[in-house]
Chains A and B, each alone.
Chain A
Amino acid sequence: MSREVSVAAIRQVGGKGVANAAARKRRIVVTSEGRRPGWVSYAILTAVLLVSVFPLYYAISIASQPTTDTQYGLPALKLGSGLFRNLSTAFGEIDFLTALSGTLLVSTVCALSTVLFSTLAGYAFAKLRFRGRGPLLFFVIGTMAIPTQLAVVPLYIMMARLHLFGTLAAVMIPGLVTAFGVFWMTQYLDGALPFELIEAARVDGASMIRTFWSVALPAARPAAAMLALFTFVAQWTNYYWPMLILGPNKNSMLTVAAAALKGARFTDYTLVMSGVVLTAFPLIIVFFFAGRQLVSGIMAGAVKG
């Protein structure tokens, strides 16, 4: 969904003067010691952290109940002894490995494709002069506000006509490029890649594509990593479109498989929650390793705005 947009967009909406001036000044004052927060701040943050973690704990806890008698309410708060048995049942029932590899494939392909094409287009928009550049960029930004729902019906018809209904390809195709990606890379390269570097490469006799490859691409790396991470998460947690287009092949992706398990087993929540836990955990593990980058990505995007 289009909410994975960064504050970089503000520049377009609210003007960049304030934010830029502020960002410049920040460098000077960033070292000055802010006020030390009292225990109230830590107490509030701890409470928020508990709220963040609790639903996950509760899901695990329900998933660990040995019988379906204790699946609701308070009894389910205490970890039971059935976790591994329930997980392995769910593992088989949703065909976890198929769903995991399907999700991984879709997320990876979409992330790579979005990053590659966005960097190419972003480089052209930020650093090259060509006829129609302004209107085309304006058009790209304008389309960011269009709701995904608007395209669902025709995409569905298209996929059916192409005989792609129920396939992972159909899930991927609408996610191959995003207007936001182009916007994000344009913004980044505009500020991060000096013209002198491009000119130097050109004077040295590098062709256009060589210049892109050896000058623009390395400069774009930090922003490209962020974009890849965000696209990856967005695709991984996506449910609406895969649910619609996968049809009966519900076990090809994790979110859809978990939902389908709920439809099939709504009286046995120990099993449904096992499915939820199984499908949620791969991304949580990724978060533990790449969460720092995700955080700094949001922060960087906003500061740049």
Chain B
Amino acid sequence: MTANPVAPDKPQTPPPAHDDAHERRLRARGRRGRLDVRLSPYLYISPFFLLFALTGLFPLIYTAWVATRQWNTITGDGGVAVCGAVCGSTDPSIFANFQWVLNQPAFWDALRNTFSIFLISTIPQLIAALILAAILDANLKAKTFWRMGVLLPYVIAPSAAAIIFSQIFSDQSGLINTFLGWIGVSPVPWHANTLASHIAIASIVNFRWTGYNTLILLAAMQAIPRDVFEASVVDGAGRVRQLVSVTIPMLRPTLIFVIITSTIGGLQIFDEPQMFTQGTSGYGGPNRQFLTVSLYLWDLGFNHVSIGQPNLGRSAAVAWLLFLIVVAFAIVNFLLTRRIASAGGAPARKHHAKEVAR
């Protein structure tokens, strides 16, 4: 924010004072005005900060507290957490819940699945979005129609999309398996097999988000000056070369943004795997094939609720672990993307091309 803020007090030319009463009135108004100017900004930001403190900041700190406690979903706080037989310790410790979680094979399965689904969804999705944006960037007829068509899945709730796709990917007689049968491929166990289920879930994610990311990238593409493209054409660059050497480097900030938001969203994935389950039992699949960290968090604290289980404490511990992973990943992503997107030496070539074009 570089713009100059309004000067708080404007020196006003004082009107000639006729009598005391008038002067007093004026002075009172000035005081009120100054108070108005000084307090108003805080007044304007305070509703947001009050609500945010209640629903964002306080819970953040409170989660850290709950994560150290033996906190039963039904009966409440039961003192400092104890890890128990899982890690061979009966001493209360503020790290006990974390120890317990880290000793669960389910947590590691969930972590592996989360990363797997995240990678399988994000990478093809961004490549597809980039290509689609490049296509939409051309001088198309009925621009708005195509853009709206691409964005349509965005208004379908992920949970609803997951129910539909669960049918399309049905193991016995789902559409995909039927088509695979036609071309002589044996049916894929989309719900039973780990990798297959990840691919199916990733396709639900891609269904909803590819169009959204396409439009974001498209908008950034349209902000690239056209003469850069023209220059690259004069230089003899084909479409692919243009995309790789001109468009992608110039989209760098947008790409970083899209990758980071995809990471934050992708690592929290919940709706799709939860509703991908066939039937009612076996959350994340009968053998945890598509149990994700978020799903595990929910399962620990809210799904398998029983007396004597310190559930919410362990849930909170999972939440903190997830948070640390997201932050670490966002940072790594940021650094990586910066390097990848700035490699290629496009600026120099662009400059050269421009001169030729003139």
Near B by CB (< 8 A), chain A positions 27-85 give 29-30, 32-37, 41-42, 44-45, 48-49, 51-53, 55-56, 58-59, 62, 72-74, 77
Does A226 count as interface, using CB distance less than 8 angstroms?
A: no
State whether B223 touches A262 (Cβ < 8 A): no
Q: A13-B257, A287-B152 are in contact. Are A129 and B5 (CB under 8 A)?
A: yes
Binary per-residue interface labels of chain A (268-305) against chain B in the complex, 1 for a CB within 8 Å, 0 otherwise: 01001100100110011011000110110011111101
C-alpha spacing A233/B36, complex, angstroms: 37
State whether B60 touches A177 (Cβ < 8 A): no
Near B by CB (< 8 A), chain A positions 118-132 give 118, 120-121, 123-130
Q: A55-B207, A177-B55, A303-B222 are in contact. Are A7 and B156 (CB under 8 A)?
A: no
A residues within 8 A CB of B52? 140, 143, 177, 179
Binary per-residue interface labels of chain A (124-168) against chain B in the complex, 1 for a CB within 8 Å, 0 otherwise: 111111100100110010010111111111111110000000000
Main secondary structure of the interface of B (DSSP, over half): helix
Q: B-side interface residues toward A, CB under 8 Å?
A: 1, 3-8, 10, 33, 36-38, 40-42, 44-45, 47-49, 51-52, 54-60, 62-63, 66, 132, 135-140, 144, 146-161, 163-165, 167-168, 170, 172-175, 177-178, 207, 209, 211-212, 215-220, 222-227, 250, 252-254, 256-258, 260-262, 264-265, 267-268, 270-271, 274-275, 278-280, 294, 297-298, 301-302, 312, 315-316, 319-320, 322-323, 326-327, 330, 334
Q: A-side interface residues toward B, CB under 8 Å?
A: 1-3, 5-7, 9-11, 13-15, 18-19, 22-23, 25-26, 29-30, 32-37, 41-42, 44-45, 48-49, 51-53, 55-56, 58-59, 62, 72-74, 77, 117-118, 120-121, 123-130, 133, 136-137, 140, 143, 145-158, 173-174, 176-177, 179, 182, 186, 190, 195, 198-199, 202-203, 207-209, 212, 233, 236-240, 244, 254-255, 258-259, 262-263, 266, 269, 272-273, 276, 279-280, 283-284, 286-287, 291-292, 294-295, 298-303, 305
Q: Which 6 A-B pairs have the closest CB atoms?
A: A14-B253, A302-B219, A129-B5, A154-B62, A73-B173, A151-B59
